[in-house]
């Protein structure tokens, strides 16, 4: 009699190229090291994707002719579906709605468990604003497939409440918090020097991230530089704005950096920003991973006055929130945060507690308990 192998194989799929996707990496590590699973992570490979650093789990990056738009999403899900159908697995983990069609069909046809992990409110992203037909297609996929999930995770309570109200689905909150950083290697950064303070943004350079208003504010800030760590769809227009305003000596770009070296950049900064604009429900309810990365670097923050971010920042008293759009007034706010020594030191003290509590070492226990229960139910 053939016995089922003791290590359950789980395939995690995501549409990123995995270079800076820290949430998927943490999830994979926990599933492999703490839950005893055999893990395969499937992403994509862009023409500009750098090589991946060595990972302790198996990785497959799919190359596709199209890298954005309908042809990409359709092509990715077709290729992913074929990959899943011709490979063995016990469980599937779909990261976000854009990987759900392939995972749903493969899980249904092979009669396997399906876990869905929403990192954002996908149908509320700014990229779908004014594109009602495209939004309705994604909503149809979601409405048809999401209820089939055996486990549904998301990143905060606001998004969980949204899906409870919309579909009557119970989503379990698994926050996007990083590991506690170990020893941070030194990096040589050209913008450092003198007495200038470093304001930093880490993340995707897409529409609605508030980068343009900070760049405009830099025209009024002489004692600081603004560093953008990341890349994205609006990078060209952001770079053009820097040249137009002639603030090239105050705004610097690093491009994307691997998540392994990101703490080295954050440790050099004085203030972290996450100034998403109210462009759709996704941003309004966001609790970005960049906020938690700043916290682990013990970096005071200025964030949008939106419910989830506000609850963290005001709850721990680690910075300020704002909806300011005027460049000169925003510059005054940033300058005041950097100059007020007493307030800044209070934030720094409070960040030590926040960093101890808001880390993956604490958060991952929710994942371990849930997955052990799921596996034990089917394979006692």
For residue range 98-116, list pLDDT tens digits in order.
999 999 999 999 999 999 9
Percent helix, strand, coil in the chain (nearest 5)?
45, 15, 35
- pLDDT band with cut points at 50, 70 and 90 for residue 45: very high
pLDDT for 4: 46
d(CA 328, CA 75): 46
Q: For residue 186, how many other CB atoms are within 10 A of its CB? A: 8
The one-character DSSP state at 127 is: G
Render pLDDT for 222-231 as a digit per residue (tens, 0 to 9): 889 999 999 9
- pLDDT band with cut points at 50, 70 and 90 for residue 1: very low
d(CA 315, CA 342): 19
Render pLDDT for 127-145 as a digit per residue (tens, 0 to 9): 887 788 999 999 999 999 9
- pLDDT band with cut points at 50, 70 and 90 for residue 347: very high
Exposure b/e, 46-74, CB count within 10 A at least 16 = b: eeebeeeeeeebeebbbebeebeeeebbe
pLDDT of residue 264 exceeding 80: yes
**pLDDT exceeding 90 applies to what percent of the chain?**
76
pLDDT for 334: 97
The tokens for 155 are 């990143």
* 60-69, 166-175, 323-332: least confidently modelled range: 60-69
The tokens for 202 are 């880490």
- pLDDT band with cut points at 50, 70 and 90 for residue 380: very low
Domains delineated in the chain: 9-177+360-378 (3.40.50.2000), 197-357 (3.40.50.2000)
Tokens 């900070």 -> residue:
214
DSSP string computed for 77-89: HHHHHHHHHTS--
CA neighbor of 43 nearest in space, from 34, 52, 33: 52
Mean per-residue pLDDT for 351-371? 96
Q: For residue 144, how many other CB atoms are within 10 A of its CB? A: 12
CA neighbor of 8 nearest in space, from 32, 42, 41: 32
- pLDDT band with cut points at 50, 70 and 90 for residue 278: confident
CA neighbor of 27 nearest in space, from 377, 368, 300: 368
d(CA 342, CA 132): 49
Tokens 């999830």 -> residue:
27
- pLDDT band with cut points at 50, 70 and 90 for residue 20: confident
Strands 91-95 and 113-118, by their bridges, are: parallel
Strands 58-62 and 151-154, by their bridges, are: unpaired
7, 90 contact by CB (below 8 A): no
Q: What is the pTM of this model?
A: 0.90
* 237-241, 282-286, 342-346: least confidently modelled range: 282-286
d(CA 26, CA 32): 10
Render pLDDT for 150-187 as a digit per residue (tens, 0 to 9): 999 999 999 999 999 999 999 999 999 999 987 777 77
Mean per-residue pLDDT for 209-218? 96
Pure H helices in 32-172: 69-85, 100-110, 132-145, 157-167
Mean per-residue pLDDT for 85-99? 97
**pLDDT exceeding 70 applies to what percent of the chain?**
96
Return the CA Rg of the chain.
21
d(CA 367, CA 156): 14
Mean per-residue pLDDT for 49-73? 92
Q: Which residues pair with 42 in a beta bridge?
A: 13, 60
d(CA 10, CA 95): 13
Mean of the per-residue pLDDT values for the chain? 92
Mean per-residue pLDDT for 18-44? 95
d(CA 362, CA 356): 9
Q: Which residues pair with 274 in a beta bridge?
A: 303
The torsion angles phi and psi of 62, rounded to 5 degrees, stand at: -85, 130
d(CA 245, CA 210): 16
């Amino acid at each position: 009699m053939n016995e089922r192998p003791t290590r359950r194989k789980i395939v995690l799929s995501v549409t990123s190229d995995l270079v800076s996707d820290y949430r998927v990496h943490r999830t994979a590590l926990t599933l492999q090291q703490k839950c005893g699973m055999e893990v395969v992570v499937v992403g994509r490979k862009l023409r500009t994707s750098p090589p991946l650093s060595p990972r302790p789990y198996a990785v497959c990056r799919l190359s596709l002719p199209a890298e954005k738009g309908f042809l990409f999403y359709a092509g990715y899900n077709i290729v992913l579906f074929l990959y899943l159908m011709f490979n063995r697995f016990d469980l599937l983990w779909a990261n976000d709605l854009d990987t759900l069609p392939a995972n749903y069909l493969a899980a249904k046809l092979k009669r396997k468990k399906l876990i869905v992990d929403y990192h954002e409110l996908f149908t509320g992203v700014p990229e779908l604003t004014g594109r009602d037909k495209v939004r309705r297609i994604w909503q149809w996929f979601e409405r048809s497939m999401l209820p089939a999930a055996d486990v549904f995770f998301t990143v905060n309570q606001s998004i969980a409440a949204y899906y409870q109200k919309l579909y009557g689905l119970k989503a379990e909150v698994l926050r996007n918090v990083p590991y506690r950083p170990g020893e941070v290697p030194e990096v040589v950064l050209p913008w450092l020097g003198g007495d200038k303070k470093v304001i930093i943004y880490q993340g995707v350079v897409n529409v609605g991230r508030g980068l343009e208003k900070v760049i405009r504010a830099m025209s009024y800030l002489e004692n600081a530089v603004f560093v953008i760590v990341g890349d994205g769809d609006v990078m060209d227009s952001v770079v053009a704005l820097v040249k137009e305003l002639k603030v090239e000596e105050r705004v610097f770009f690093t491009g994307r950096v691997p998540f392994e070296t990101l703490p080295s950049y954050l440790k050099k900064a004085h203030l972290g920003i996450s100034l998403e604009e109210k462009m759709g429900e996704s941003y309004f309810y966001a609790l970005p991973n960049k906020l938690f990365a700043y916290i682990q670097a013990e970096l005071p923050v200025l964030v949008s006055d939106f419910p989830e971010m506000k609850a963290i920042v005001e709850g721990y008293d680690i910075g300020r929130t704002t909806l300011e759009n005027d460049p000169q007034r925003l510059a005054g706010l940033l300058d005041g945060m950097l100059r007020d020594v007493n307030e800044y030191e209070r934030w720094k003290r409070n960040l030590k507690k926040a960093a101890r509590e808001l880390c993956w070492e604490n958060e991952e226990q929710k994942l371990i308990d849930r997955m052990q229960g799921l596996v034990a139910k089917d394979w006692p």
